[in-house]
Amino acid sequence: MTGEVFDVHDHRHALKLHRDTGERELWENRKGLDCPACEEPFADLLVSERRHNSFERPDGRFCVVREPDRLLVFSH
């Protein structure tokens, strides 16, 4: 997936939106979509358009994908 953008709306059928603040979105992966960073299924996806972010420590492994206008954090 190198160079490609992860389009949440293309995968909307497999994701459930839990929170949307306008600058951040939290999605649950309900269909076992693969993480673009490690190519393994992820549990949750945080999408942030904010320049500065602070996150609570996840319970397990996570992957980060940086796109030109946003940051994607995939928890496993």
The answer to whether residues 74 and 63 touch, using CB atoms and an 8 Å cutoff, is: yes
Residue 3: its pLDDT value, please? 61
pLDDT, tens only, 20-74: 999 999 999 999 999 999 999 999 999 999 989 888 777 889 999 999 999 999 9
**pLDDT (average), residues 2-29:** 91
Residue showing tokens 């549990």: 43
| 75 token code pair | 């928890």
Both tokens of 65, joined, read 């994908």
Backbone phi, then psi, for 66, in 5-degree steps?
-105, 125
What pLDDT, on a 0 to 100 scale, did the predictor assign at position 63? Answer: 95
